[in-house]
C-alpha cells in the first residue's frame, strides 16, 4: 500500500462555521461533497478534535463558505491554525455576515456559501461525517474556487530554510501548516497541534 495515492484526490477548501448559544466558531475543512441534487444534500467530514464539530453536533446547523483563489494565508491561520476552545476566531474579523441559520458567512476570500441542516451524523472514529439538507446557498462572486492543490502552490508561504536546532535534534515540519516538531523521531500517532493533521503529513527538514 502506498498512502501517497490519497494525495491525488482533489478537494476544495471551506471555512466551516457554526453558532451555538450565541457563540461563533469556525474551522477549515476540505471535505464538502454534494451527495444528492434532488433534494440538495451535502456531506462534510470533520475531525472530532475541532470545536466546530461539537457545535455542529449540538446545533445541527452549519455553513460552509467556499474558499476562492483570492483568499490569503491569514484566513487559514485564523480559522485553521488555532482552536475555538481557547480563542474567539471572530474577534476583530469583519469579513463576515450572519446567515439565516445563525452561522457566520465568510464573504472575503470566498466565492459562495452553502448552509446545511444536519439530518445524520455518522461516527467514523477520529471524524464525524455529517449529512445535511441545504437550507440556504448563494454565489458571492465569480473568482474560481481554491483547490487544496492551489493552496499548496499559491497561498501557503514557501518553506524557509529551517533554523538550526539548538539541541541538534531533527526537525519535522507539518506540510499543511508549517508547524515544526523537534525530536529525533516523530511519534507515529503525533497530531499537529495547530492544524490537527497526522504524522503522515510531516516531513523531515534537516
Which one among 121, 136, 180, 182 touches its own copies, defined by CB under 8 A? Answer: 136
- Measured between alpha carbons, how far is 98 from 90 in angstroms, rounded to an integer? 12
Find the binding residues for its own copies in span 74-93 (CB under 8 A): none
Which one among 5, 22, 92, 157 touches its own copies, defined by CB under 8 A? Answer: 5
Nine cell digits for residue 185: 523521531
Task: Select 18 or 112, whichever has its Cβ closest to its own copies.
Answer: 112
Cβ(107)–Cβ(97) below 8 Å: yes
Cβ(133)–Cβ(114) below 8 Å: no
Q: For its own copies, how many residues bind (rule: CB under 8 A)?
A: 52
x/- mask, its own copies, residues 112-131, rule CB under 8 A, reads xxx-----x-x-xxxx-x-x
Q: Which residues lie closer than 8 Å to 136 by C-beta, 6 or more apart?
A: 63, 99, 100, 101, 113, 114, 115
Question: Which range touches its own copies (CB under 8 A), out of 91-99, 132-140, 158-166, 170-178?
Answer: 132-140
x/- mask, its own copies, residues 40-79, rule CB under 8 A, reads xxxx-x--------------------x-x-----------
Report the chain's C-alpha Rg in angstroms: 18
Which one among 37, 86, 94, 160 touches its own copies, defined by CB under 8 A? Answer: 37
Cβ(81)–Cβ(197) below 8 Å: no
Q: How far is CA 196 from the centre of its chain?
A: 9
Question: Which range touches its own copies (CB under 8 A), out of 9-17, 53-61, 159-167, 177-185?
Answer: 9-17
Quick one: which of 178, 149, 156, 185 has its CA closest to 7? 149
**Is 151 near its own copies (CB under 8 A)?**
no
114-119-139 Cα angle (round to 5)? 10
The minimum distance between CB 42 and its own copies, in angstroms, equals 8
The two most distant CA atoms of the chain are separated, in Å, by 59
Residues near its own copies (CB under 8 A) are: 1-6, 8-12, 31-43, 45, 66, 68, 111-114, 120, 122, 124-127, 129, 131, 134, 136-139, 144-145, 147-149, 189, 198, 200
Amino acid at each position: 500500500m502506498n498512502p501517497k495515492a490519497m494525495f491525488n484526490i482533489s478537494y476544495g477548501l471551506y471555512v466551516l462555521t457554526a453558532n451555538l448559544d450565541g457563540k461563533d466558531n469556525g474551522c477549515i475543512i476540505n471535505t464538502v461533497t454534494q451527495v444528492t441534487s434532488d433534494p440538495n444534500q451535502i456531506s462534510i467530514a470533520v475531525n472530532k478534535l475541532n470545536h466546530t464539530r461539537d457545535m455542529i453536533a449540538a446545533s445541527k446547523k452549519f455553513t460552509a463558505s467556499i474558499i476562492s483563489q483570492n483568499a490569503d494565508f491569514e484566513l487559514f491561520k485564523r480559522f485553521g491554525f488555532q482552536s475555538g476552545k481557547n480563542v474567539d476566531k471572530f474577534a476583530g474579523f469583519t469579513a463576515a455576515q450572519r446567515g439565516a441559520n445563525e452561522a457566520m458567512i465568510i464573504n472575503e476570500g470566498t466565492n459562495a456559501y452553502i448552509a446545511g441542516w444536519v439530518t445524520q451524523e455518522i461516527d467514523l472514529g477520529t471524524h464525524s461525517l455529517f449529512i445535511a439538507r441545504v437550507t440556504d446557498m448563494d454565489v458571492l462572486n465569480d473568482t474560481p474556487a481554491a483547490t487544496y492543490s492551489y493552496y499548496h502552490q499559491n497561498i501557503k508561504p514557501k518553506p524557509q530554510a529551517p533554523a538550526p536546532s539548538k539541541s541538534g535534534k531533527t526537525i519535522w515540519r507539518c506540510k499543511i501548516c508549517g508547524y515544526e516538531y523537534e525530536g529525533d523521531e516523530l511519534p507515529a500517532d503525533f497530531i499537529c497541534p495547530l492544524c490537527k493533521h497526522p504524522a503522515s503529513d510531516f516531513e523531515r527538514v534537516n
